[in-house]
Structure 1
Amino acid sequence: MAPTTHTVTNQPPPLTGYDAFTEDAALAESVARHIAPERLSEVRGELGELGRAAGSAQAQEWGRLANENPPVLRTHDRYGNRIDEVEFHPAWHRLLGHAVSAHLTGAWARPDGHVRRAAGFLVWTQTEQGHACPLSMTHAAVPALRADPAIAAEWEPRLTSNAYEPELLAPGGKPGAIFGMGMTEKQGGSDVRANTTRAEPLAEEGTYALTGHKWFCSAPMSDGFLVLAQAPGGLTCFLLPRVLPDGTRNTFRIQRLKDKLGNHANASSEVEFDGSTWARRLGEEGRGVATIIEMVAATRLDCVIGSAAIMRQAVAQAVHHTAHRSAFGGLLIDKPLMQNVLADLALESEAATTLALRLAAAYDSGGEADRKLLRLAVPAAKYWVTKRCAPLAAEALECLGGNGYVEESGMPRLLREAPLNSIWEGSGNVQALDVLRAMQRDPASVNAFLEEIGRARGADHRLDAAVKDLLTELSDLEGLEGRARRLVERMALVLQGSLLVRFAPPAVADAFCASRLGRDWGGAFGTLPHTLDLGAVVERARVKI
């Protein structure tokens, strides 16, 4: 066959060699809004450097290799000694090492740390989501460690360090450490109070021997873990190091790695503690949930940020493809119906990013009102944003047609990753029930939420009407649990609408309120009113290379 028949035409160039931070207008503007002016130039420079790395061909290749070469469990060495190690492809270590060096586990030790870390996490995890899990848990472990000042003084500098060392070494010999978590057991799932792992006190004050199992233990190659176990005084939180202070290995039996739908580069495992597993108590006996809850809240926010990262990458790819692909006499991006789909996807992505950064800023604030807002808004955002991620990824894939269904496009990997954040750290029902629990136990959280959305009062009649409807729903306690999903969905949408009306360009805010807060929104992408300025919304989401 003549080689001229294989001339490649009408295919878009690779989306590579760009700045994933600067080219994301919604993210860059959110950072500028929440960072102290005297630090903004420094933060922009730092995030721009990370954005260029994330958009590089090298980082994209690391992501591909890490995904295509999943971790391997090595239970024994060649001589039959139990080692319980997980072997990763070098590309995975490069991704994780770059993330740690970029301070993506160091938010607690830096001014404006949570906003700059959330922005960096959103940018960098677009390369590959499998290494986001240890990043998230290492970051989130810090507030739980602070339940014991002595333990925090020992471990917090390692967790917030920008040094990455993958070898399992004695804690005192490592400049930095990675943490995992083990809460879920096979008989309990999200009901952690049903856990059966036992903790028997040892002679040394605050130390225990653990016996039991964990059905899901994330990142088993980590240097330490926060786990829940039943002590004599009830469910308690413990710090379990992989290597003991004298350099010997703690008993930590990795039974197997999970074979998952996606998230292939990350190791999720089942582990056993055999009665000689040594751990240190964090907090009081019987206060395990209260001790670890701050970690759970932080990882839930990372689920929101991680979903926003998937959304952003999916939208960037869809818009890029259609801007370079011609069909039916013109570029796809200029076709009215395709433009409607792309604009709708871009709205969802921008709303997720704006909300994620607002919640990160609430962590930095530390004020009472923001603390109360987080109590209600984090589970609401986790419920809604993670739920919207999978349909967005599927629709974005469809924008590439058959090309999007091919693994080489990267879109199938995004689609497989998309459902995970909705499940991890509590599925949709758990989040919806947590919102109800917060409203009942802490009415001040409702006031903080209403104060936040009230800052946009009078700016858009559709938003005002949606707030009024929400207040009516909140006042009706009849059958509240059975309609909790609907209520939490409306709360998240109103919160997103309030933020976009206040901060986004008019074309974005108008389209969001007309669709998400209007009376006839069907939820499908590509059904925006045709009278809106959809071209401006799409152009805002486009990466210029």
Structure 2
Amino acid sequence: MNHEVTNQPPPVPDLDLADDAALCDALARAGGDPAALSSFGDAAGRAETRELARLANENRPVLHSHDRYGHRIDRVEFHPAYHELMGLGLETGRVAAAAWTGEGRAGHIARLYLMTQAEAGVVCPMSMTHAAMPVLAAAGLEDWAAGVRAARYDPRHLPAPEKEGLTLGMAMTEKQGGSDVRANTTTARPDGDWWVLDGHKWFCSAPMSDGFLTLAQGPEGLSCFLVPRVLPEGRAQGMRIMRLKDKMGDRANASSEIEYHGARAIAVGPPGRGIATIIAMVAETRLDCVAGSAGGMRAALREALWHVAHRRAFQRRLIDQPAMRVLMADLCLEVEAAVALSLRGAALMDAGDPLARVAVPAAKYWVCKRQVGVVHEALEAHGGAGYVEEAPMGRLFRAAPLNAVWEGSGNVIALDLLRALRDPAVTDAVAERFAALRGLHPALDAHLAGFDHAPDEADARGFAERLALGFQAEALSEGDPAVFEAFCVARLGGTGLAYGGAEVPHTERLIERAMPAAALG
């Protein structure tokens, strides 16, 4: 060895991810119990869990369409690390079951936020499993619903009734339509107690799930169906995995293209009302996108804070340099607002509040877009050390754009939001809530004055952004006063556009709330 290594941060130790002031405060405001997260936060934050995440991403899923004898099997093989992470999230974390076993959506969102920080890719099947529950319950599919509530991970290739726990996926979009699912061409025809599906699906994530909610054209129009992966008698299903998607991020999880060749399916919901049936699942997964982006931002921020708390330049730690301190505070503020809004959305959905119909899509539009910028700045704070694959920043950055694409890209979400505002109950709820915020801060008053007219489609994205900022201010208004003031000044006051370029008051308080305790020792 011809040199001594100095001025490098030590390895990140075991952390309790639930030791998070922004999370605990927002969860308590949403009616949840932060103490219930302690054991999961500890398990998700261990160094060995971070190693599992690395292994699961570096050893991608492999499709085996046939066995050695030529039989069609359509199996995806995962690295053992993937299965351990799935068990961590579904069993220790209860990510898919929490909302339906007493903790409400706030408990689910908090747990999904923590699991995303451990490994984002495996959260996809957990989110879809959680989100399928309203559809399963409405259709009276109690055996399937019980499999979700069981909070067990059982990867065995068996019929659903024989398994200890179930996971659900979805297969909606097709090549020719994408978000326009009304253009779907997959067909469904009745056959006794079953329906028979034929067609293709452009995206089917987590193809080893036990069942898939899917849309197909039946005699009465586009309808919703549940396709079991294994038929009750153990017979092979007519669902073929054509290939796995070569994704830029979230590589631990498999996403696929599939074809239905006489696949047996269970009708779910009224015939011809497929979109209305599946929309309950979509609302759940859109909120999960918000929490997932908040978790991705928090994971990147934690890495950056750890680095700048230990790295020195020009005789001072990076965190003590004024420009870096403002940047870190600005990123902390973004995470605070994202966490607060995700849990506010959970509380609104649990209460059946009409505000949820605009708060959730506005949050999905805005928070998911902000993730890329936050992760980029966190990577940049490392310098070149963040731009190598030995660090986790590359994996976090590649995952960052996904939530803005999944369950509706920007224009789709913004236009859905405008459609929701056609309902007087929704517009009245927004007006009433925003009226209650007036007088809390001058910058917020000025921001709220911009909602005195209905937007047109050309302004849909701008309106979604302004609405999301208003809802973030509302979510923070009942929390830490310093955080609320910092948000109003930095986000509503019209200062710098780039992170670190805005005026951010209370920088010390923001960093104190976000800094890992181990970095202070």
Normalising by structure 2, what TM-score? 0.97
SS in 1 for 2:73: strand
2:229 to 242, 246, 252: 242
* Alpha-carbon separation, structure 1, partners of 2:510 and 2:369: 22
Task: Write the distance in 1 (CA, Å) between the matches of 2:432 and 2:58.
Answer: 47
State the distance in 2 between where 1:454 and 1:85 align. Answer: 55
Q: Distance in 2 between matches of 1:120 and 1:540?
A: 19
Q: Report the Cα distance in structure 2 between the residues aligned to 1:486 and 1:225, rounded to whole angstroms.
A: 35
Q: Which amino acid aligns with 1:55?
A: G
Q: Structure 2 matches for 1:62-461, cutoff 5 A?
A: 62-101=52-91, 102-149=93-140, 151=141, 153-204=142-193, 207-274=194-261, 276-366=262-352, 370=353, 372-440=354-422, 442-461=423-442
Q: Distance in 2 between matches of 1:32 and 1:243?
A: 41
Q: Bigger shift: 308-317 or 508-517?
A: 508-517
Decide whether the 8 Å contact of 1:511 with 1:528 is kept in 2.
no
The answer to whether the Cα contact below 8 Å between 1:228 and 1:288 also exists between their aligned partners in 2 is yes
Counterpart-to-counterpart distance in 2, 1:108 and 1:540 = 27
CA contact (8 A) 2:99 2:106 kept: no
Distance (Å, rounded) in 2 between the aligned partners of 1:181 and 1:263: 17
The question of whether the paired residues in 2 share the 8 Å contact of 1:100 and 1:161 is answered with: no
| Ranges in structure 2 where 5+ consecutive residues have no aligned partner | none
SS at match of 1:189: coil
Shift in alpha-carbon separation, 1:452–1:93, aligned structure 2, 3 A: farther
| 1:6 has 2:10 as partner | no
How far apart are 1:124 and its partner, in Å? 1.7
CA distance in structure 2 between the aligned counterparts of 1:109 and 1:336, rounded to whole angstroms: 46
CA distance, structure 1, for counterparts of residue 31 and residue 11 of structure 2: 33
Verify: 1:509 aligned to 2:500, yes or no: no
**1:440-495, CA deviations, whole angstroms, 9 ceiling, x for partnerless residues?**
2x2211222333334432111111111112x23xx145xx1011100110000011
2:14 aligned partner, one-letter code:
G
Counterpart Cα distance in 1 of 2:138 and 2:510: 46
Q: Separation in 1 of the partners of 2:14 and 2:138?
A: 44
For the residue of structure 2 that corresponds to 1:126, the secondary structure is: helix
User: Structure 2: how far apart are the matches of 1:112 and 1:159?
Assistant: 14
* 1:508 maps to amino acid: V
State the one-letter code of the partner of 2:29. R
Q: Conserved in 2, the CA contact under 8 Å of 1:233 and 1:285?
A: yes
Secondary structure of 1:214 counterpart: strand
Alpha-carbon displacement from aligned partner over 1:175-203 (angstroms, at most 9, x marks no partner): 21111000000000000000000001112
Please give the secondary structure, in 1, of the residue aligned with 2:172: strand
- Secondary structure class of the residue paired with 1:18: coil
- The one of 460, 468, 491 aligned to 2:467: 491
> How far is 1:28 from its partner?
1.0
CA contact (8 A) 2:244 2:257 kept: yes
d(CA) in 2 for partners of 1:167, 1:279: 20
Q: Which residue of 1 aligns with 2:457?
A: 481
Aligned: 1:526 with 2:507? no
Residue 292 of structure 1 deviates from its aligned partner by 0.3
Using structure 1 for the length normalisation, give the TM-score. 0.93
Q: Give CA-to-partner distance per residue, 1:385-427, whole Å, 9 cap, x none.
A: 0000001100110011111111121011110000000000010
Q: Secondary structure at the match of 1:502?
A: coil
Q: Deviations over 1:339-364 (max 9, x none)?
A: 11111111111100000011112233
What does 1:530-545 correspond to in 2, within 5 Å?
532-545=505-518
Tell me, in whole angstroms, the C-alpha distance in 2 between the residues paired with 1:537 and 1:338: 13
- Equivalent residue letter for 2:229: R
Indicate the larger mover: 315-324 or 298-307: 315-324
Partner of 1:15: 12
SS at match of 1:184: coil
Q: Could you say what secondary structure the match of 2:249 adopts? A: coil
Structure 1 residue 506: Cα displacement: 2.8
- Counterpart of 2:488 in structure 1: which amino acid? C
Offset of residue 523 of structure 1: 2.6
Aligned partner of residue 146 in structure 1, secondary structure: helix
Distance, in Å, in 1 between the alignment partners of 2:29 and 2:485 is 20
**Superposition deviation, residue 236 in structure 1:** 0.2
CA distance in 2, matches of 1:15, 1:452: 42
What is the rounded CA distance, in whole Å, between the counterparts of 2:492 and 2:236 in structure 1?
A: 55
Q: Aligned to 1:226, what secondary structure does the other structure show? A: strand
* Contact residue 105 and residue 161 of structure 1 kept, 8 A: no
Letter in 2 for 1:160: R
Spell out, residue by residue over 1:35-75, the C-alpha distance to the aligned partner (whole angstroms, 9 max, x if none).
Answer: 36xxx3xx51x311111111101111111101111100000
Measure how far apart 1:9 and its partner are: 0.9
| Alignment: residue pair count | 517
Q: Is the 8 A contact 2:27 2:110 kept in 1?
A: yes
Superimposed CA distance per residue, residues 299-323 of structure 1 (whole angstroms, 9 cap, x where no aligned partner): 0000000000001111111111101
1:86 CA displacement: 0.4
Q: Distance in 2 between matches of 1:447 and 1:93?
A: 47
Q: Could you tell me how far 1:27 is from its partner in structure 2?
A: 0.1
Give the whole-Å Cα distance in 2 for the aligned partners of 1:63 and 1:353: 23
Alignment check: 8 A CA contact 1:462 1:517 kept: yes
Q: What SS class does the counterpart of residue 202 from structure 2 fall into?
A: strand
User: Secondary structure at 1:20's aligned position in 2?
Assistant: coil
Q: Take 2:147 and 2:45, find their aligned partners in 1: how far apart are those partners?
A: 29
CA–CA separation in structure 1 for the residues paired with 2:170 and 2:207: 9
**Whole-Å Cα distance in 2 between the matches of residues 485 and 188 of structure 1?**
22
* 2:89–2:95 CA contact under 8 A, matched in 1: yes
CA distance in 2, matches of 1:257, 1:202: 30
Alpha-carbon deviation of 1:14? 2.1
SS in 2 for 1:286: coil
Q: Indicate the RMSD between aligned Cα atoms, in angstroms.
A: 1.3
Distance 1:454 1:49 in 2: 40
The C-alpha deviation readout for 1:252-287, integer Å capped at 9, x for no partner, is 10000000111111111000011x210011011110
Contact 2:496 2:502 in 1 (8 A): no
Cα distance in structure 2, aligned partners of 1:455 and 1:121:
31
CA contact (8 A) 1:341 1:525 kept: yes
Q: Distance in 1 between matches of 2:305 and 2:481?
A: 21
